[in-house]
Structure 1
Amino acid sequence: MKLYYDPASTVCRPILLFLADHDLPVELIHVDLAKQENRAGWYLEINPNGMVPALVDGGFSLTESATILRYFADLAGAAAYPAEARARAKVDEALDWFNTSFYRDHGYGLVYPQILPHYAVLGGADRLAFHAERAAARLDVLDRHMIGDRPFVAGDSLSIADYFGAGLVTMGDMIGYDLLPYPNVRRWLATMAVRPGWDQANAAFHGWRSAVRAAA
């Protein structure tokens, strides 16, 4: 299996963290977003969307991060994607929520317009304020209803929704997003941050974060 990825990518980092926890025969192939290798003809043959990640497993391919996580979890027989129907449905629900409701406001609405030049068109004070309010509301849902007094977002056990969600929430670090009002989110992220593969999976992101902060 070949995973095409960029190590700093918001949606690649969860997969790298999962792979650090699970022994799967995956060859990692770096697609450098800074050099726009994702727009190169050879890569567009693999993923015509021009985005990372992309997985090629023989003649089979996938191009969505959350789906790749599901696939890897099934291959690994991981408890992080439970087989029982209702438990799996709760994990899928959390994955879908992160990938649509949360990512739309926190990522594309608030963070990316402030750090990525090609998303600047989505910026402006009014738009940022609109998405900041909505992102705060999403985080309140995550804090009080999805996590609450439990350790993880979809129940009492670690799931692939935690891998995925942690990548999306921590992207707020790029703009110094204040998570102080969300104690359960901070507790959950602290639990994720002590996983053995966390530092390695997030090393490139942390380097990018430092560069953005230095340039601010």
Structure 2
Amino acid sequence: MTSLRLYHHPISTSSRPVMMFATEHRLQIDHQVVDLFSGEQHGPAFTAINPNQAVPVLEHGVFRLTESSAILKYLADLVESDAYPIDARERARVNEAMDWFNTGLSRELAYGFAYPQLFPNHARPGAEAQAAGLACVRPRAERLLSILDASMIGPDRRFVLGERITLADYLGLGIVTVGEAAGMDFTPWPNLRRWLSTMKARPAYAQTHAVFTGAFGHARTRNAMALTGEGAC
């Protein structure tokens, strides 16, 4: 197999799902950490690799992909993973759930609620604007988390789409955990908490989330972070 190279950062919301999938599937990957906190993603060398100046980026020989969802699907097809089923309707359900995570939940929980608290360059200007913004976005994020809890996972499913893990679980985990790091209280959603515990119990979670867990393990340490590379200005 032509060599695989992944440009990523271990704290990145969109990098961690790819890292976890690759670890669980024992993919031989050349890991290239992009130092987001020094602004390496904005430099000419990385901009030539990804003009979006964001991680992750996958290179497979001369082939290059720059979106987390697309990278997950490509890798799953490459290794014929059950996490991305071949059946057209089953695959469509996975795509649907991934799009849901990547648009609505990412917008409200990650960009709206979490990033302004975790990363200073995402914070709204002034304490009053910050408080107002969080007050506005919180109920929208909570509504989507209620949908995830009741309608997607529900009381009987182990994973988002049933008893088998899919790419939707990997992608969703990255977004949900960044909300958790920012202090979103998941107490109202028992099914979500059960799913989150199931995902965190997988050995690859500890392997691929050690830096993330360490960075956000103490309440205010996270506010020392300067850049995310998650589409930051």
Which band: TM-score by shorter chain? over 0.9
1:91 aligns with 2:94: yes
Counterpart check, 1:138 vs 2:150: no
- State the match for 1:14 in structure 2: 17
Q: Which of 105, 110, 116 is 1:107 aligned to?
A: 110
The one of 51, 60, 63 equivalent to 1:48 is 51
Residue aligned with 2:220, SS: helix
Question: How many angstroms does 1:37 deviate by?
Answer: 0.9
Shift of 1:157: 1.1
Q: Which runs of 5+ in 1 are unaligned?
A: none
Say if 2:124 and 2:133, in contact at 8 Å, map to a contact too. Answer: no
- The answer to whether the 8 Å contact 2:23/2:204 transfers is yes
Q: Aligned residue for 1:197?
A: 204
Residue 116 in 1 paired to residue 119 in 2?
A: yes
Give the Å deviation of 1:214: 4.1
Q: How many equivalent residue pairs? A: 216
Paired position in structure 1 for 2:231: none
Paired residues of 2:11 and 2:212 also in contact (CA < 8 A): yes
CA distance in 2, matches of 1:132, 1:80: 31
Q: Which has the higher contact order (CA 8 A, sep 6+)?
A: 2
The worse-fitting range, judged by mean Cα deviation, of 134-143 and 117-126 is 117-126
SS in structure 1 of the partner of residue 133 of structure 2: helix
Normalised TM-score (structure 2): 0.89
Mapped pair 1:64 → 2:45: no
**Does 2:165 match 1:158?**
yes
Q: CA deviation at 1:154?
A: 1.9
TM-superposed deviation, 1:36 = 1.0
Shift >4 Å, 4+ stretches: none
Superposed CA RMSD: 1.4
CA distance in 2, matches of 1:97, 1:21: 24
| Alignment partners' CA distance in 2, 1:100 and 1:90 | 15
Structure with bigger helix share is 1
Amino acid at match of 1:143: D
Does 2:134 match 1:128? yes
TM-score in terms of structure 1 length: 0.96
